[in-house]
Structure 1
Amino acid sequence: MAETHPPYSSFKKLSSFFNGITAVSGVVLIGLGFYVKFRGAALTRVLGLSHAHLHHVGYLCLVLGCVTVLLSFTGWYGVTKENRGTLLFCSLFMIFILIMEIGVTSVVLGFLPTVQDMGLEHNVVTLRTNYKGFNEPDDYSTDWNSVMEKLKCCGVKNYTDFSGSSFEMMTGHAYPRSCCKSIQTVACDGHNVSTDIIHQEGCLPKLLEITKTQSFNLSGGSLGAAVIQLPGILATLLLFTKLG
């Protein structure tokens, strides 16, 4: 039977409380992972590497969140049983997770300017090479059609991105039907570039805005989780020391 330490009851209550808060931070991380995976993921997939970067960070948040929740329950057990080994184990692992969360924040915010700088030319070249058409079954064309229809835009910069593209050479059209404001209209013939017929704005600014929002939410959530977890780590280490 575990030895009781009445003078430390306040520390135990404090540590148990912070373990509950730590569990909440784990749920926040899990939520962030799902947010990145599903919120706008289908649209930003056309950005290629930048999408993959955020996607991988999202998976990392899912893993960190699940581990954090498990550690919070383990820490609660250690507090209840006054088990110094368990408390030390949880504290060290939580410090590691804390460092990872700060790393996630730094990487996401550091990578964002690179995405903005490289996004334009890379995506124009890729679009001209890989886009096949409105009803083509390949994933790349399907993703771009979805982006242009949902975001109400055309091309990366504008409809001129399709000039000299594989799509134009195969179809003879200056733009695909997904660029049209009304796909079913007769005037949407691939040649009429009137502002009444097609969207004049490119998709990249809107895609970058989605990516920026995801990045800020991801980095802010990770940093917030780290701040929430820090008092719990300190309280657990303090109890570990007192029980010695």
Structure 2
Amino acid sequence: MQCYSFIKTITILFNFLIFLCGVALLAVGIWVSVDGPSFLKIFGPMSSSAMQFVNVGYFLIAAGAVLFALGFLGCYGAHTENKCALLMFFFILFLIFTAEVAAAVVALVYTTMAEHFLTLVIVPAIEKDYGSQKDFTQVWNSTMEGLKCCGFNNYTDFENSPYFKENNAFPPYCCFDNVVNSTDTEACTKKRAEDKVVQGCFKQLLKSIRTNAVTVGGVAAGIGGLELAAMAVSLYLYCNMK
């Protein structure tokens, strides 16, 4: 009974923290969606690019809703000893864990397929919007500057873009290994881009992930371990409830 009471108390406290995190994410997500300009003023210009590339508000609302539901079910189920709530808590965690494992397997085994799929989606967007849509262009400029890369595959992704049609040149990131430190103002022509052979951002991103594989793997393993522990605890409480 002492072990059961201890685990029950820890479960309530742990899920209450998850519940509070969910409430906080929901609040920030709603704030960003309703009053984006105020959010941008506080977090600066970089947040503007991020918000255009991925709708941060909706993402935060979705993540907050999941954490809110998980925290509430776990806390309520443990406190009131409600088997139905604990079972739902276990089921949602199991679905999340399964989705994470499936995503990891796809990322490891089907990297080439993922690259082909993303190429079909991202390259047409570059050809359509780079140079004409300010926010989209800023996002790609920040990405290429940060990763020292050019386009999704390489410089050829920009050949049909509004930027190339207007300037008859590729973005400078396609001709410099380090744009920030470069003082070269010469246009990035096709010949210069071919000579420089700057890697595409997808390959550069994969390289960065592999470089930090231990850190990424450790974080993923830690999250997976917590989820498995939470599922085990919920099953323990479920099976020992009267």
Unaligned runs of at least 5 residues, structure 1: 1-7, 35-39, 79-85
> In 2, distance between residues paired with 1:211 and 1:106?
17
Q: Give, as a single letter, the amino acid of the residue that structure 2 aligns with 1:189.
A: A
Change (3 A) 1:176 1:190: same
> In 2, distance between residues paired with 1:44 and 1:111?
27
Using the size of structure 2 for normalisation, the TM-score is 0.62
Q: Give, as a single letter, the amino acid of the residue that structure 1 aligns with 2:72.
A: L
Contact 2:147 2:201 in 1 (8 A): yes
CA shift, 1:60, in A, is 4.7
Change (3 A) 1:74 1:63: same
> In 2, distance between residues paired with 1:42 and 1:217?
29
**Greater relative CO (CA pairs within 8 A, separation 6+):** 1
Task: Indicate the residue corresponding to 1:145 in structure 2.
Answer: 141
> In 1, distance between residues paired with 2:21 and 2:230?
12
Query: Which residue of 187, 190, 214 maps to 1:189?
Result: 187
CA shift, 1:227, in A, is 0.5
Task: Indicate the residue corresponding to 1:237 in structure 2.
Answer: 238
Contact 2:150 2:201 in 1 (8 A): yes
Using the size of structure 1 for normalisation, the TM-score is 0.62
> In 2, distance between residues paired with 1:45 and 1:63?
22
Contact 2:74 2:86 in 1 (8 A): no
> In 1, distance between residues paired with 2:21 and 2:221?
11
Change (3 A) 1:43 1:207: farther
Between the two proteins, the alignment pairs up a number of residues equal to 213
Change (3 A) 1:221 1:236: same
Unaligned runs of at least 5 residues, structure 2: 29-46
Query: Which residue of 5, 19, 22 maps to 1:12?
Result: 5
Q: Give, as a single letter, the amino acid of the residue that structure 1 aligns with 2:145.
A: E
> In 1, distance between residues paired with 2:102 and 2:24?
19
> In 1, distance between residues paired with 2:220 and 2:61?
14
Contact 1:44 1:211 in 2 (8 A): no
Stretch of structure 1 that moved more, 115-124 or 15-24: 15-24
Q: Secondary structure at the match of 2:68?
A: helix
CA shift, 1:184, in A, is 6.9
Q: Secondary structure at the match of 2:229?
A: helix
Q: Secondary structure at the match of 2:241?
A: helix
Task: Indicate the residue corresponding to 2:115 in structure 1.
Answer: 116
> In 1, distance between residues paired with 2:17 and 2:103?
22
Q: Which has the larger radius of gyration?
A: 1
> In 1, distance between residues paired with 2:239 and 2:48?
42
